[in-house]
Each structure stands twice: as structure tokens, then as C-alpha cells.
């Protein structure tokens, strides 16, 4: 009972610490899950709805409700029984809301990342660990139209955005073995997001309003919290699902992996 209460307190603390951050990739349990020399191969998916800051040089601007999808392969390796490393290779895209980016939807572009997990305390049904991961994403999205809408004696326009960014997350927390094959995990995380957004606007024929601008991308705050569950549905296979919460939005992540 005490261990269950401890887990609840940790998760509630994580939610209380939640700030505005950009969280993209799933994290999974913060504790290592591989034995020395053991491999894991799997696939991850995440969907994010979030806000972030743009600094155009003349001032900061908050962009709201950006949707990000990421799909990736995940390969892990057990360095020791308590320490594992992993890499991700996949694709991601972004889509903007009408208020900020019109009806812009991004193409899927290359995304990748790497990370590590370390279990620093083991108990009967409750382990504690720390996780570090970093990921990179590059995507483009655009919107276009004609003025006036019938196209007569007017001009066409196209606005293209290119987003390049990286995201660092450091999480700490418990993994509780709630039942046979079922684990619940969670904890607070520290987040840093940095990147660049290029905005290229073109009118045809040229009306004199064509322009190019660039902004720095960053998180609104550095704290967040997450909670999830993992089901070992076979001796060597598992499925997990989690929510990452921030004051600027949320991320749902899921994944499946096989050990060998």
C-alpha cells in the first residue's frame, strides 16, 4: 500500500510541476528494461498538440495549436542490466492552425533521435530510474491562394514555412509493477527545445510584397510531467501508451517492442 501511495504522489507532483514545453517523442518507462547484451526492436508513434515561442528579433510571438505527428523505428541495447541505450529513425510532420499558418499541412520529413535509461534503485515491485533523450525534426508546410478568389486581374500567393528543431528531455521517476505483465510509470521531466522557422512569402505576379523572414523557436517553460502504462503481452514483447502534459499542450505516445 505504501508503494502504491508513493507512486500516486510522484505522478501528482509531476502534474503539478507541469509547465509549457515542447514534447514530441514517446519516452516509455524511465527505467532500463534490457539485460546486458540484449537488443530491442520496435516502433513508436506520437501525436502532439502544442504551442511554442517564436522570436523574430523584434519581439516574441506565441504560435498556438501546432499538430506534430512522428513515426519511428526504435532500436535499444542493454549496456548493463541497469543501463540501456537506444536510437530512433523515422519521419515527422507538422500542421498549423488557421490563425497562424492558414491551412498549412507539412510533408513527412526525416526525424531521428537517441537516448539512454538508467535504473538507480531497485525494490520488490518499484524501480526508480532516469531517462535522457534528444530528437531532431525537419519539416515544411505551406499555404496558398488567389486574390481576388476568382483570380481575375489579381495575383496568386504562396507562403512556405520550414521548421528545423531539436528537443531534449530528461525524466526521472518510478516504474511500478502493478500486476503480472503490467507496469505503470511516470514522473516529471525537464525539457529544452531549440530550432529555426523560415517563412518565405511569394506573390505572382510580383506585387512588391514578397518577403523572407526567420525566427528562433524555443519552449515556453522547461518543466513537464508524464504518465503511462506498459503491458508485457508476451515474454519478449511489450506494448506501452503514455501522455505527456505541458501548460502549452500535450503529447500522446505509444509503441511496441520485441526483445532478443
CA distance linking residue 242 with residue 246, whole number of Å: 13
**pLDDT, position 218:** 84
Question: What pLDDT shows up at residue 8?
Answer: 35
pLDDT at 150: 66
Q: Is 222 exposed, middle or buried (0-12, 13-18, 19+ CB in 10 A)?
A: middle
pLDDT at 151: 61
Which of these, 170, 224, 229, lies nearest to 51 by C-alpha position? 224
pLDDT value for 23: 52
**How many whole angstroms separate alpha carbon 224 and alpha carbon 204?**
44
Calpha distance 136→168 (Å, rounded): 9
For residue 19, the model assigns a pLDDT of 32
In 3D, which of 218, 118, 247 has the Cα closest to residue 172? Answer: 118
Mean pLDDT in consecutive groups of 10 residues from the start of the chain, 260 residues: 37 32 77 97 92 80 81 96 96 67 65 94 95 87 77 79 87 96 96 87 84 84 91 95 89 96
Q: Domains in the chain, please, with CATH? A: 2-142+160-195+214-259 (2.40.160.20)
SS3 string of 219-238? CCCCEEEEEEEEEEEECCEE
At residue 45, the pLDDT reads 95
- The pLDDT assigned to 141 comes to 73
Amino acid at each position: 500500500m505504501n508503494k502504491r501511495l508513493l507512486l500516486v504522489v510522484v505522478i501528482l507532483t509531476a502534474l503539478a510541476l507541469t509547465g509549457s514545453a515542447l514534447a514530441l517523442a514517446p519516452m516509455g518507462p524511465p527505467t532500463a528494461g534490457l539485460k546486458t547484451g540484449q537488443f530491442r526492436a520496435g516502433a513508436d508513434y506520437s501525436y502532439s498538440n502544442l504551442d511554442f515561442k517564436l522570436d523574430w528579433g523584434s519581439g516574441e510571438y506565441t504560435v498556438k495549436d501546432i499538430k506534430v505527428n512522428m513515426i519511428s523505428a526504435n532500436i535499444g541495447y542493454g549496456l548493463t542490466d541497469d543501463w540501456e541505450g537506444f536510437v530512433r529513425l523515422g519521419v515527422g510532420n507538422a500542421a498549423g492552425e488557421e490563425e497562424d499558418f492558414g491551412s498549412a499541412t507539412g510533408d513527412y520529413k526525416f526525424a531521428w533521435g537517441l537516448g539512454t535509461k538508467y535504473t538507480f534503485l531497485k525494490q520488490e515491485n518499484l524501480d526508480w530510474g532516469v531517462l535522457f533523450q534528444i530528437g531532431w525534426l525537419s519539416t515544411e508546410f505551406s499555404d496558398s491562394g488567389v486574390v481576388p478568389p476568382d483570380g481575375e486581374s489579381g495575383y496568386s500567393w504562396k507562403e512556405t514555412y520550414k521548421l528545423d528543431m531539436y528537443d531534449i528531455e530528461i525524466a526521472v521517476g518510478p516504474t511500478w509493477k502493478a500486476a503480472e505483465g503490467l507496469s505503470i510509470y511516470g514522473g516529471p521531466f525537464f525539457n529544452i527545445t531549440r530550432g529555426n522557422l523560415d517563412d518565405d512569402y511569394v506573390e505572382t505576379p510580383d506585387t512588391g510584397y514578397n518577403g523572407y523572414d526567420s525566427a528562433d523557436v524555443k519552449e515556453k517553460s522547461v518543466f513537464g510531467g508524464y504518465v503511462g502504462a506498459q503491458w508485457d503481452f508476451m515474454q519478449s514483447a511489450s506494448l506501452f501508451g503514455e501522455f505527456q502534459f505541458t501548460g502549452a499542450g500535450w503529447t500522446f505516445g505509444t509503441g511496441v517492442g520485441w526483445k532478443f
